[in-house]
Amino acid sequence: MIPLRDTTPTRNYPIVNTTIIAINVAVYFLQLSQGSDINRFIYVYGLVPARYSLPQVADYFTIGQQAFSFLSFMFLHGGFWHILGNMWSLYIFGDNVEDHLGAVRYALFYVLCGIASGLSHLVLNLHSNLPTIGASGAIAGVMGAYFILHPRSKILTLIPIIFIPYFINIPAYIFLGLWFVLQFINAAGSQGVGGGIAWWAHIGGFVCGIIFLKLFDNLPVTGVSRRMRQYTAKKKTPRLQVIRPAASGADPHLYGLLKITPHEARTGTRKLVNIPLGFKKRLFNVKVPAGIHDGTILRLKGLGHSSGSRASGNLYLKVNIENG
């Protein structure tokens, strides 16, 4: 299963998530520049359990190198497809978690998830002399947080069957729950490490991501975080909005929610509204006047239920001004 995108919008630009992706890419090019020294580079900056459990190996490294490896290993990757897969998953799931936590808390959250995933791998593979590298443990923590925050978000997923690609929207709790179960199956079948993949790092990162989310939600929001939210707030919601209106009994009218930002409320905007089923005209333009207030009802005449014996009802859209 290959995730392509999710359906949960964000209110702020993910500056930390984007920065993390950029750092990973920069470090990958640094790896490529090592040439014949690449194996030594990975052994020094990767996470090698034997360096912490076997004195004869630990003696070759300083305390600083031992400590730094818990951070540096999560920015190293084993190849192009390794970093591409990791960064794509981080791009899809990370922005929503950062949007919830804020930039400062998200940066700390990501690093702690990575360290926790490394510790999980270390404890369960104590004497392994194989370097563990990759951001997947930290990203597993991000996925764990997403699992809690947006369980019913839809993940557009590519499922290739033989040579035929199938595209399907899968609820996040099913997609991520299945992913987590597969990590356990693979860990059990390979005793934690198989094919160069640290399965227990994934499992530990996912579980710690859920735990850390609960802890971080109880931390106070700092003034720095508030200012960063102001600077990174998106001025507009998506121009195209899909609305699945609700109806009540025999009421011919339909009711939905139109989301806009405070900036759009002040200046006015236009949205393309799509209603998936039951209408001849499924896509239409909605004008939101400047100075509109939260909770204002916009009426779209004739877009409600209709029958042969009575006139069509209306579609009423309640304006929801999202807080940044």
Clarify whether residues 27 and 127 are in a common domain: yes
pLDDT-derived band at 278 (thresholds 50, 70, 90) equals low
Residue that finishes a domain, picked among 201, 231, 261: 231
Clarify whether residues 301 and 175 are in a common domain: no
Clarify whether residues 246 and 224 are in a common domain: no
What is the pTM (predicted TM-score) of this model? 0.81
Clarify whether residues 145 and 179 are in a common domain: yes
Rg (CA), the chain: 24
Clarify whether residues 175 and 259 are in a common domain: no
Clarify whether residues 10 and 98 are in a common domain: yes
Clarify whether residues 132 and 204 are in a common domain: yes
Residue that finishes a domain, picked among 182, 205, 231: 231
170: its two tokens: 């899968």
Give the pLDDT score at 279: 46
- Pairwise CA distance, residues 260 & 268, whole Å: 9
Clarify whether residues 272 and 139 are in a common domain: no
Clarify whether residues 172 and 271 are in a common domain: no
* Domain around 170: 2-231
- Angstrom CA distances, 24 to 31, 38, 106, 163, stand at 10, 16, 16, 32
Question: What CATH number has the domain bearing residue 16?
Answer: 1.20.1540.10
Give the pLDDT score at 194: 46
The 3-state DSSP class for residue 167 equals strand
Question: What CATH number has the domain bearing residue 265?
Answer: 2.60.260.20
Q: What does the pLDDT look like over 10-50, one tens digit per residue?
A: 888 999 999 999 999 999 999 999 999 999 999 999 999 99
Q: How many structural domains does the chain have?
A: 2
Residue that finishes a domain, picked among 183, 215, 231: 231
Clarify whether residues 184 and 303 are in a common domain: no
Of 42-51, 72-81, 268-277, 287-296, the poorest mean pLDDT is in 268-277
Clarify whether residues 288 and 211 are in a common domain: no
Secondary structure (DSSP) of 175-221: HHHHHHHHHHHHHHHHTTEETTEEHHHHHHHHHHHHHHHHHHHTSPP
Clarify whether residues 126 and 275 are in a common domain: no
Q: Which amino acid appears at position 114 of this protein?
A: G
Of 22-31, 154-163, 281-290, the poorest mean pLDDT is in 281-290
